[in-house]
């Protein structure tokens, strides 16, 4: 029998590869199917990467999308064991910086930062990897 394997929980998908120089620099190049993080801090998220956008009680606005992409990709690297949990706070700060750079108000960006600091730990937990589902 032919079956498919898939994961639920994604709303958005990149149509072009995205690159950003960040302050997180792993000792060795991290290379996954869709995400690279180089030792000099280049984050590369490849075309086709899917993510769920801004999480929590919020609105998916244009000034939140790039930050949510970067944040989700980096949290995924924590869940997969490529980055340590100690990187979570710098990743959360990066989310706030990107949102501010993209025109989000200081008040909302602070709210976003505090929300991920308070409620984001489980999203970085390896136990919360998206499960593979097989059908039929």
Residues 6 or more apart in contact with residue 83 via CB below 8 angstroms? 24, 26, 30, 37, 74, 77
**What is the per-residue pLDDT for 77?**
97
- Cβ atoms 122, 128 nearer than 8 A: yes
- Band the pLDDT of 127: cuts 50, 70, 90: confident
- The H or E element containing residue 116 is helix 106-119
Residues 6 or more apart in contact with residue 50 via CB below 8 angstroms? 10, 12, 13, 14
HSE of 71, CA atoms in CB hemisphere, 13 A: 26
The string of pLDDT tens digits covering residues 3-55 is 888 888 889 999 999 999 999 999 999 999 999 999 999 999 999 999 999 98
CB atoms under 10 Å from CB of 65, counted, come to 17
Residues 90, 66: Cα–Cα separation, whole Å = 16
CB atoms under 10 Å from CB of 33, counted, come to 7
Residue 1 pLDDT more than 70? no
- Cβ atoms 24, 87 nearer than 8 A: yes
């Amino acid at each position: 029998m032919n079956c498919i394997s898939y994961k639920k929980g994604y709303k958005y998908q990149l149509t072009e590869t995205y690159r950003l120089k960040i302050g997180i620099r792993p000792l060795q190049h991290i290379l996954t199917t869709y995400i690279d993080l180089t030792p000099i801090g280049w984050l590369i998220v490849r075309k086709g990467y899917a993510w769920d956008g801004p999480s929590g009680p919020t609105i998916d606005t244009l000034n939140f999308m790039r930050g949510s992409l970067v944040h989700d990709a980096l949290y995924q690297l924590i869940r997969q064991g490529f980055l340590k949990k100690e990187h979570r706070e710098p990743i959360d700060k990066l989310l706030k910086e990107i949102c501010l750079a993209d025109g989000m108000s200081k008040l909302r960006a602070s709210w976003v930062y505090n929300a991920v600091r308070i409620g984001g730990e489980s999203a970085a937990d390896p136990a919360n990897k998206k499960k593979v589902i097989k059908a039929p």
